[in-house]
Every structure is written in C-alpha cells, then in structure tokens.
Amino acid sequence: MNIRIIHRKRSTAGFIILIGFIFLTYCYFESRWIKITEIETRSADIPDSFNESVIVFISDIHLGPFLSARRLSLVVERINNIKPDFVLLGGDFVHYNSKYVEPVFNVLGGLRTPLGIYGVLGNHDHWAGASQTRKQMVKSGIISIDNQSEWVKKGTDSIKVGGVGDLWYDIQIPQNTFKGLKKSDFAILVTHHPDYLENINSDLIDLTLSGHTHGGQITVFGRWAPILPSEYGQKYRYGLIEHGKTKSYISSGIGNVIPPLRFFCRPEIVVIRLKKSVY
C-alpha cells in the first residue's frame, strides 16, 4: 500500500479521535455548567402581596454517581443567594438507589425561604422508595404536594401551590389542587412528568412546572432531542409553553442520567418572578 495513503488514513483517524475527545470533554463540562434561567409570569390573578415575588424551581437532581452532595450544596448556596420567597421541587431527587435518599435531603434541608419548600416525587424516587423519600422530606422541612395543595400566605394574600403524583408510578388527583379555587385565584401546579399537561383542561391553573425530560440532555444544537421520555415527541421537551390562561415550564433539570453528558442543553435553576398585571 502506498505510504502516502497509509499516512493520510492515520491522519484522518487521528483527527476523528481528536474531535471525539473534544466533543466528549465539552459534553462533560456542559453537564456541570448550571445556568440560571429567569422567566416572568404576569397575571391579574397575582395578589398585591405577591407582586414581584420570586420563586425558584429545580427538578431532576439525581443525586448519585454523577452528582455528589458537595455539588448539590453549591446549588443550594446559589438558590439561597437568590433569596426566593419559596422553592418548588419537581422530583427525581436521587439516581435509582435508596442509599442516596437521606443524603439528598440532608443537603436540601439547607434551603432557606420565608414561605416554605414544596415538592413532588418523580419516577426515580418511586424506584428508590416513595415512603422513605416522603419521610426524609418531612424531616428536612420540605412539604410534599403529591396530590396535595397548600395556600401559601404572604401579607394578607394567598396563592395556591399544588401537585399531582408521578404519571408513571402514582395516581393523580388534581381535584386536591382545584378544591376551593376561584378563577380570580393564582394557582401553580407541579407535575414531574410533562405529559400530564395533556390532562389539564382547567382554566383555574395559571402556571405548571415540570421536569423529567432533562430537555433531551443531548440535543441537536438545542433544537431537537433524539431520545426523549415523552409520548408527544418534542412537544414537551423543554421551555415555556402557553395554552390559554395556563403557562407551563419544562425544566432541563439539575442532574443527569446515563450517559452523564449534555450537549446544547445546560442544567438549570429556574427563577420565576411574579408580576401583577392590570388585566
């Protein structure tokens, strides 16, 4: 074989290996490069006392082999520096194993808010043990809103915060969030799996928050994900969706599943600012 041809093939193989190494290195770096995403929700239903209030939403922590308690403590520190009025948690606290349940809530117990911390379970939490997870939530001062709701009070006003059980491994009782609501109330519904949004037909919910998809985790330049745990294609992959009165945000999450890499889909802390509108 011609020596020049051999040299060209070796050069090509070397270039491909180099590009692959650079790609994987970047994907590993991006998986740890947490951004802060700020969204604004305007509604006439927002009470005066909650105007300019700040909510932080995080989902899919997946504490385990790919995200340590030390790294999560840095996330908690960033959230506390934001000084949110309250925090909402979208489930999948751990990566499969029950041994991570107590450690994740030991760290999340460090969240500091004046109006509380509320969360739902995801499919990974059911795999790790729903009962154990809920016990640790209580121990850490986190209020479970799986098929439950709370009136969050500030000043003389209140808004409703509720959730439903995981779409795959639990039941969903949205009536517990709708109960006692008027159209003039501001209400937030947390559901781990965004596919549940297909079942929401009430004009009583102003904002829904979900996770589960990780935004696709590895995407084609942020526009399309080849692997997505949803029955509706790319519809609920990531970001803000508006349908009627209800706005929905699907977060890319904090942690990762196998492979523990991200491409054009950075993990995120979602900061939601409430603004009262005239109409």
Hey, where are the domains in the chain?
A: 32-276
Helices 130-139, 101-108: crossing angle, 10 deg rounding: 30
Nearest to 266 by CA among 278, 276, 253: 253
Strand-pairing partners, residue 39, are 272
pLDDT at position 233 is 95
Please give the class, per CATH, of domain 32-276. alpha beta
Instruction: Name the stretches of the chain with pLDDT < 70.
Output: 1-11, 279
Burial (CB count <10 Å: 0-12, 13-18, 19+), residue 244? exposed
pTM of the model: 0.94
pLDDT at position 179 is 85
